Every structure is written in structure tokens, then in C-alpha cells.
Amino acid sequence: MKYISEFRNPELTKKYLQDIKDTVTQPWSIMEVCGGQTHSLVKNGILDLLPKEINMIHGPGCPVCVTPLNLIDKAVHLALEKNVILCSFGDMLRVPGSKKSLLEARAEGGDIRILYSPLEAVKIAEENPEKEVVFFAVGFETTAPANALSVAHAHKKGIKNYSILASHVLVPPAIQAVIDDEESKIDGFLAAGHVCTIMGTSEYHPLSEKYKVPIVVTGFEPVDLVQGILMVVQQLENSKAKVENQYARIVKEEGNLEAKKMIAEIFEVDHQFWRGIGEIPDSGYVVKEKYAQYDAVRKFDISIEKVPENPDCISGLIMKGIKKPYECEQFGIKCNPSNPLGAPMVSSEGACAAYYHFSDKVEV
Ligand code: SF4
């Protein structure tokens, strides 16, 4: 249990909470960027234990939530209209597209498979040469190395019937977009430890320096989060703004160099559309021209009409930290995990699902 039990220690959690109370002298708004951090904060009741001066704001860090509606429609189209075995992580299946989810497409006969690794999809492609196999490659910097590796693997083995439908989003440009948004007033950030495990902490220094905001990289256990919040509060109270690494047991300044090399081989940075938020410059990875044959968008003719989002769902405001899930009029009424109107109610990292499952703030 080493590295888990210590970071779930209630006494240590209480100590850091007390330290926060002893340190804070004025209101501060702190955004936890990642949905995994949101879930841990809500699930462990930390939001209710923080002093009233600390307002935790939930950020855009749920890759499933920000995968564009149009791309889900493309995945549904591929699964139903083309000779495709569509492979995906499980979280994507129940996310609503404009007409149907992948789960509904599967019920209509689409060959849609839930996998834990894109390398399994490459194997399926090898075993099914008469079919095209597409992996729905969503995620932050965390999943990019494995998705890139699957392309490299298929290329090396000469597999021609494999491609990825890529929707990779990058965290630092999203933080910048949140800071630049006039409606959001964030004093400091908790950056996601797993992303920094791959990318390191160096990307955050220019942001912290330019905008004079503290950015503390944290893990996901209760002790990680309260210690990270304390580190942000200490900086704010002392008029400091720098990058600190609470998750030093895992995260190195330079990140994982092998993983970064693999990403750089297959992907390049480009503009990316974030569901509910809009286009953010240089905030995604696309497949390089050299590997175009493994890019499902280039490989298949998928022209799908773009349709507007469900106007009842305010997921964009929630992911930008402007509203809390319980401030959505549909929360727990028309929208719940059995009948989600938006991705944040479906995803295991979605803020709406976190509040629905773990918060007693709202009667549902
Ligand atoms: S509660 Fe449902 S409708 Fe409201 S923002 Fe969340 S996902 Fe969208």
C-alpha cells in the first residue's frame, strides 16, 4: 500500500486543513484543472472541510467532456456506415452525440468495442484484415504516448487497416484560455499530476510568470490535494507566483522523455476545438502528415453536418469554472447518469457526475 495509504491518512489531511485555516486571511479562488482532482475533492468531502475563504473551482480537465460533438457523430457514422470495428475507452460510449451515443449505435448493430489499450485495437486489426479498425483516441497528454505507440506499432508491422480518430487536448493552453476569459477570476491553479508525469513541469513556468499565478502540480489523493491547496494559499498570502511540485514522488521537471519522444514522432500541435468551450489555439495533437494513413479523418470520407449543442446543457460554463454543476437547472432533474444531457454527467472525470454521485449539497 506504499504511496497510497500515506496519502489517504486522515490525520495528515486534518493537519494540512488546519494549516490552510491558519494561513488564509482573505478569499481566494483556486482551480483544480483536472476532473480526477474534482472527483477526489468531492468524494472525500474536502470541499466541505476547507475554510469558507477558499473557493475551489472545477476546471476543463475532463478529456471525455471536451471531445467535440462532431467527432462523436463521426465515430457513430464510422461504426454504422463503414466497414469499421470502432474501438474506444469505455467512458466515451455513453456520451451523447447530436443524434445518438456510441452505446446506442452499438445497440443498432455497430461493431463497437471497449478496450483498455490502443495496442489491443492494433491486434484486432491484425486479426480482422477484412475490416477497418479505428481507435477513438481521446485524452490529454496522458493518453497520447500509448495512442502514438499504437500508430508506430501498426506502421512497423505494416498493418494497413488501422487508424485513430484523434481528439487530443493539451492542458497548458487550456489554463491560458481560462485565465484569458474575462468572466473567470482564478487566483491559483492545481495542475494535474498525471499530465505532468508525461510532460514534466517546465511548460508551466512561462504561464505562471506571465500571469503571476501560482501553479502547484498535485496528485489525486486527499493528502495530495490539501497539501497542494496549502502550497497555493501560502504563495498567494505571500504574494508569490511560481510553479511548485507537490507530486514529486512521481513527477520530474523534464517529464518522461521516452513518452515525449513517442508523441513527437507521431503527433504535431495544432488548434483544437473543445466541446462546450470552443477553439483554443495550439491546444491539441493531430497526426503528422507522415502518418496520414493512420488518421481516420483523412482516411475516411466523413463529412458530418455540424449541429449546435443541447442548449439546456451549460457544461462549457462549468468547465470554465464560471458555474458549479448544481447551478445547472437540469442537474438531477432532466440530467442524471442514466439520462445524461452532457458529457460531464457521464465521464468518470466529469464534474457533474462527481457532484451527482458524491455531494450531498443537492437533493437528487
Ligand atoms: S448537469 Fe447535465 S445538463 Fe447540466 S451542465 Fe452538467 S451535463 Fe450539462
Distance from residue 325's CA to the centre of ligand 1 (Å): 7
Whether residue 89 has pLDDT greater than 80: yes
Q: How far apart are CA 101 and CA 340, in angstroms?
A: 10
pLDDT confidence of residue 361: 59
- According to DSSP, the β-strands at 84-88 and 111-114 are parallel
Distance from residue 328's CA to the centre of ligand 1 (Å): 6
* pLDDT confidence band for 92 (50 / 70 / 90): very high
Whole-number percent of the chain with pLDDT over 90: 85
φ, ψ of residue 62 in degrees (nearest 5): -130, 105
Residues 237-265 have pLDDT tens digits of 999 999 999 999 999 999 999 999 999 99
pLDDT confidence of residue 183: 83
Distance from residue 320's CA to the centre of ligand 1 (Å): 13
Which atom of ligand 1 lies at the shortest distance from residue 345's CA?
Answer: 7
Q: How far apart are CA 53 and CA 24, in angstroms?
A: 7
Nearest to 192 by CA among 139, 268, 258: 139
pLDDT confidence of residue 362: 56
What value does the mean pLDDT take over residues 320-338?
Answer: 92
Among protein residues, the one whose CA lies closest to atom 1 of ligand 1: 331
Distance from residue 288's CA to the centre of ligand 1 (Å): 35
Which atom of ligand 1 lies at the shortest distance from residue 336's CA?
Answer: 2
Q: What is the dihedral of CA 355, 356, 359, 362, to 10 degrees?
A: 110
Which residues lie with the beta carbon below 6 Å from any ligand 1 atom? 312-315, 318, 325, 328, 330-331, 335, 340-342, 344-345, 352
Which of 38, 310, 314, 336 has the most ligand 1 atoms within 8 A of CB, as the residue to mutate?
314
Which of 94, 345, 359 has the most ligand 1 atoms within 8 A of CB, as the residue to mutate?
345
Q: How far apart are CA 117 and CA 91, in angstroms?
A: 13
Secondary structure of the chain in HEC code, one letter for each residue = CCCCHHHHCHHHHHHHHHHHHHHCCCCEEEEEEEHHHHHHHHHCCHHHHCCCCEEEEEEEECHHHHCCHHHHHHHHHHHHHCCEEEEECHHHHHCCCCCCCHHHHHHCCCEEEECCCHHHHHHHHHHCCCCEEEEEEEECCCCHHHHHHHHHHHHHHCCCCEEEEEEEECHHHHHHHHHHCCCCCCCEEEEEHHHHHHHCCCCHHHHHHHHCCCEEEECCCHHHHHHHHHHHHHHHHCCCCCEEECCCCCCCCCCCHHHHHHHHHHEEEEEEEECCCEEEEEEEEEECHHHHHHEHHHHCCCCCCCCCCCCCCCHHHHHCCCCCHHHCCCECCCEECCECCCHHHCCCCCHHHHHHHHCCCCCC
* pLDDT confidence band for 61 (50 / 70 / 90): confident
Whether residue 306 has pLDDT greater than 90: no
Distance from residue 179's CA to the centre of ligand 1 (Å): 23
Contacting residues for 18 by C-beta, under 8 A, at least 6 apart: none
At 4, list the grid cell.
497510497
Which of 330, 333, 356 has the most ligand 1 atoms within 8 A of CB, as the residue to mutate?
330
Count CB-CB contacts under 10 A for residue 104.
17
Whether residue 200 has pLDDT greater than 50: yes
Whether residue 13 has pLDDT greater than 70: yes
* pLDDT confidence band for 364 (50 / 70 / 90): very low
Whether residue 135 has pLDDT greater than 60: yes
Q: Are 225 and 233 in contact (CB under 8 A)?
A: no
Q: Are 191 and 231 in contact (CB under 8 A)?
A: no
Distance from residue 326's CA to the centre of ligand 1 (Å): 9
Q: How far apart are CA 117 and CA 160, in angstroms?
A: 19
Amino acid identity, residue 218?
Answer: T
Count CB-CB contacts under 10 A for residue 10.
10
Distance from residue 11's CA to the centre of ligand 1 (Å): 35
Among protein residues, the one whose CA lies closest to atom 7 of ligand 1: 342
Distance from residue 36's CA to the centre of ligand 1 (Å): 18
Among protein residues, the one whose CA lies closest to atom 8 of ligand 1: 313
